[in-house]
Chain A
Amino acid sequence: MELNIDLNAFLANISLLSLIAIIGISLYGILARPNIIKKIIALTIFTDAANLLAILVGFRAPPSQPPVLLTIKPSPEELQSFSQVAVDPLPQALVLTAVVIGMAVNLLIIFIALQVYRLYGTLDVRRIRRLKG
């Protein structure tokens, strides 16, 4: 018996569904976990899931090749065939930018968390709320 499944579409669907699940779980982590460090970990998972989603949009089923032209002055035919196989580089550029920005923001949030720990002696938001009182 031959399996009549488009493998690429199947994999794309699997990754899309798992990404949506990860987004849901990480949002739960950010909103519901009491520990600030665990909230920050959930936040990094959330940004990574968003970045993977962007990479998935730039996915091109094989035959595909990196968007690099090897000839200096390509002929129109070469350009035509190149555009049939080249991967869209823009999502990767977006993800690079988002990763760098995300790192800076995460670092700042971690510093604030450190300061919270120094002042309150705990990272549990329930106890912080009580101590603020």
Chain B
Amino acid sequence: MFTNITVGLVPPLLIASAFLLPIFTLAIKRKSFYDVYALLTSGIALVITAYNYYLVTYVVKGPIVYKFGGWPPPVGIVYEVDALSAYFGLMISAIMFLVSIYSIWYLRGRGGYEWYYTLLLGLEAGMIGCVYTGDAFNLFVMIEVLSVAAYGLVVFYRTSHEAVEAGMKYSLIGATATTIYFIALVFIYGSFGTLNMADIALKSRGGSYFPFSGSVVGNIHLATAIALALSMWTFTFKAAVVPNHFWLPDAHPAAPTPISAVLSGLVVKVGVYSIIRFTYTLFGMDSLSPIANSVNVIMKLLMLLGALSALTASALMIVQRDIKRLIAYSTIMHVGLIVMGASLGTSIGIEAALYHALNHAIGKALLFLSAGVLINVAMSRDIDAISGVGRYLPLTTFTLIAAILSLEGLPPFAGFFSKLLLYQAFIDSGLIVLAMVLIISSAFALLAYIKLLYGVYFKLPIKELKKVKEEAIYLIPLLTLTALLVILGVTAPAFVSQVLKPISQELLNPMNYIKAAEEVARVISR
């Protein structure tokens, strides 16, 4: 048993600092104060999540449980951080930190920065809460925290027709989706009598005894099938898997550019995380056989939907004229690939999916952030209007090309290795069709990326621009992300065996996850 305050600290700290921020607006008007405030808070979150990752992988070598208010697991809300949660938590806080550096530049000369930072910190709190929580109902609360912040940020430019219309669509269907997850929770609670993830996992595997917890009621197989179907609808909506992708191409481009990077790079990953958590830890292939059957059906469906997402989105990428919309469609394609990898159920499939999730988060954030610099110079999001602007911004164009090469999958960058791993996972499972989907969708995407690159750099500018000086404040996050892509690519074999292997082992043997929570409960019940 190991419990640590740092596990429970991050989301409450971020929420408190987000709610404290509007109070400062009564006294302080200077933008630099809010810049430093957001930077400091997300920096602290980065340090703590990195420390949690270190604890989980090297010190404890197993999940850490934190009890809120001292209540033992099935009774109270717990945060349970295992290797998967720690991996996603570190990824989220690292990219959020870089995005808040970039935001200092982006918000220069724009109003409303105090509300922007409030929502940004709320978004980070929601995302880290989602990946850290060990309670299915707390996951619902944290998804709502994340969603409210995301709706607010999509309509940040509230006088823009496009943003308001996209925000309306996103928020209305998003609220419906989270309510559907609530209904799924009602079914889970009604049959399992608990909302603690470890307890549900134990009971779905036929285990009997968990301290302070009753026995199951009624037909848990039917209830699980209904709950899984309903919650997968919500998670595929959050992850933007076809056919629940319709909001993404409108909502992501309408948001401010740093927020587009966060929404595309990280928020969809929370959906992917929840899918993995539900289909491996809560209910898995090793559950009681009727539950395992329904998990199997869900996995097959996810595989199909993932393949459909990859194909449709990559085909639609080619016809886009808006640079941010093109990048948003690429997000749907990559999420499709990640979901395909995660739904294989093999350890190499999980590793490939998680590796690709990280590479896509970094690459997509980098692509959006460097495109934001170009958009800012060209004052337009149309690829034709941006033509030639890249010649004035050599370093930004360099990072843009690095991001494109990584997402497309070229050797020095990390994207190549994760696509290779995905390919290998598909071949190992004997699914040649999926490997072909991977190649075909990459080929489609290549056409779109060539159009983008040709427009940005090789075409002549349509109008003469003044000499533009690139600023260090946005080059720091851009070059850091590029360096991360190269480092992750160069160290790919070590990264897979050192970082991803433990996660996939833990996901395929969820008993560790269950035991950690059970032990905490048992110590108190003595």
Q: Which residues of B contact A119 (CB under 8 A)?
A: 159, 161, 164
Give the secondary structure class of A's interface: helix
Whole-angstrom CA separation of A109 from B185 in the bound complex = 24
- Is A116 in contact with chain B by the CB < 8 A criterion? yes
- Name A23-63 residues within 8 Å CB distance of B: 23, 27, 30, 36, 39-40, 43, 46-47, 50, 53-54, 57
- Is B189 in contact with chain A by the CB < 8 A criterion? yes
Pairwise interchain contact B141-A97, C-beta atoms closer than 8 A: yes
Contact flag A115-B144 (CB < 8 Å), given A90-B189, A108-B171: no
Question: Which residue in chain B gives the minimum CB-CB distance to A26?
Answer: B176
Q: Which residues of B contact A104 (CB under 8 A)?
A: 148
Pairwise interchain contact B176-A105, C-beta atoms closer than 8 A: no
Q: Which residues of A contact B102 (CB under 8 A)?
A: none
Q: Which residues of A contact B167 (CB under 8 A)?
A: 112
Pairwise interchain contact B147-A57, C-beta atoms closer than 8 A: no
Contact flag A57-B189 (CB < 8 Å), given A46-B176, A94-B137: yes
Whole-angstrom CA separation of A47 from B182 in the bound complex = 9
Contact flag A105-B171 (CB < 8 Å), given A46-B179, A115-B155: yes
Question: Which residue in chain B gives the minimum CB-CB distance to A23?
Answer: B183
Whole-angstrom CA separation of A27 from B403 in the bound complex = 41
Give the secondary structure class of B's interface: helix
Interface string of B124-157 (1 = CB under 8 A from A): 0000000000000100110010011001100100
The residue that A30 contacts in the complex, of B148, B164, B172, B189, with Cβ under 8 A, is: B172
- Name A93-133 residues within 8 Å CB distance of B: 94, 97-98, 101-102, 104-106, 108-109, 112-113, 115-116, 119-120, 128, 131-132
Contact residue range for chain B? 20 to 34
Interface string of B176-198 (1 = CB under 8 A from A): 10110011011001100001000
Whole-angstrom CA separation of A105 from B189 in the bound complex = 24
Interface string of B453-475 (1 = CB under 8 A from A): 00000000000000000000000
Whole-angstrom CA separation of A47 from B174 in the bound complex = 12
Q: Which residues of A contact B148 (CB under 8 A)?
A: 104-105, 108
Q: Which residues of A contact B186 (CB under 8 A)?
A: 50, 53-54, 57, 91
Pairwise interchain contact A30-B151, C-beta atoms closer than 8 A: no
Pairwise interchain contact B141-A101, C-beta atoms closer than 8 A: yes
Pairwise interchain contact B172-A40, C-beta atoms closer than 8 A: yes
Q: How far is the CB of A82 from chain B (nearest CB, A)?
A: 15
Q: How far is the CB of B372 from chain A (nearest CB, A)?
A: 23
Contact flag A54-B165 (CB < 8 Å), given A90-B189, A105-B171, A108-B151: no
The residue that A112 contacts in the complex, of B137, B155, B159, B195, with Cβ under 8 A, is: B155
Q: How far is the CB of B184 from chain A (nearest CB, A)?
A: 10
Pairwise interchain contact B152-A50, C-beta atoms closer than 8 A: no
Pairwise interchain contact B165-A108, C-beta atoms closer than 8 A: no
Q: How far is the CB of A3 from chain B (nearest CB, A)?
A: 26
Contact flag A105-B175 (CB < 8 Å), given A50-B183, A112-B155, A116-B168: yes
Q: Which residues of A contact B179 (CB under 8 A)?
A: 43, 46-47, 50, 102
Contact residue range for chain A? 20 to 34
Question: Which residue in chain A gives the minimum CB-CB distance to B147?
Answer: A105
Q: Which residues of B contact A90 (CB under 8 A)?
A: 189, 195
Q: Which residues of B contact A23 (CB under 8 A)?
A: 183
Q: Which residues of A contact B159 (CB under 8 A)?
A: 119
Q: Which residues of B contact A101 (CB under 8 A)?
A: 141, 144
- Is B300 in contact with chain A by the CB < 8 A criterion? no
- Is B522 in contact with chain A by the CB < 8 A criterion? no
Q: Which residues of A contact B183 (CB under 8 A)?
A: 23, 50, 53
- Is B158 in contact with chain A by the CB < 8 A criterion? yes
The residue that A116 contacts in the complex, of B164, B176, B185, B195, with Cβ under 8 A, is: B164
Q: Which residues of B contact A113 (CB under 8 A)?
A: 168
Pairwise interchain contact A116-B189, C-beta atoms closer than 8 A: no
Whole-angstrom CA separation of A30 from B173 in the bound complex = 8
Pairwise interchain contact B176-A109, C-beta atoms closer than 8 A: no
Whole-angstrom CA separation of A90 from B71 in the bound complex = 14
Whole-angstrom CA separation of A79 from B273 in the bound complex = 41
Pairwise interchain contact B171-A109, C-beta atoms closer than 8 A: yes
Whole-angstrom CA separation of A30 from B178 in the bound complex = 14
Q: Which residues of B contact A131 (CB under 8 A)?
A: 161
Question: Which residue in chain A gives the minimum CB-CB distance to B155?
Answer: A112
Question: Which residue in chain B gives the minimum CB-CB distance to A104?
Answer: B148
22 interchain pairs (CB within 8 A)?
Answer: A30-B172, A36-B168, A36-B172, A40-B172, A46-B179, A90-B195, A91-B186, A97-B141, A98-B182, A101-B144, A105-B144, A105-B151, A105-B171, A108-B151, A108-B171, A109-B172, A112-B151, A113-B168, A115-B155, A119-B164, A120-B161, A128-B165
Residues of B within 8 A of A (CB): 137, 140-141, 144, 147-148, 151-152, 155, 158-159, 161-162, 164-165, 167-168, 171-173, 175-176, 178-179, 182-183, 185-186, 189-190, 195
Given contacts A47-B182, A101-B144, A108-B151, 18 further A-B contacts (CB under 8 A): A46-B176, A50-B182, A54-B185, A54-B189, A57-B186, A90-B189, A94-B137, A94-B189, A105-B148, A109-B151, A109-B171, A109-B175, A115-B155, A115-B164, A116-B164, A116-B168, A131-B161, A132-B165
The 3 A-B pairs at the shortest CB distance, nearest first, are namely A57-B190, A54-B186, A101-B144
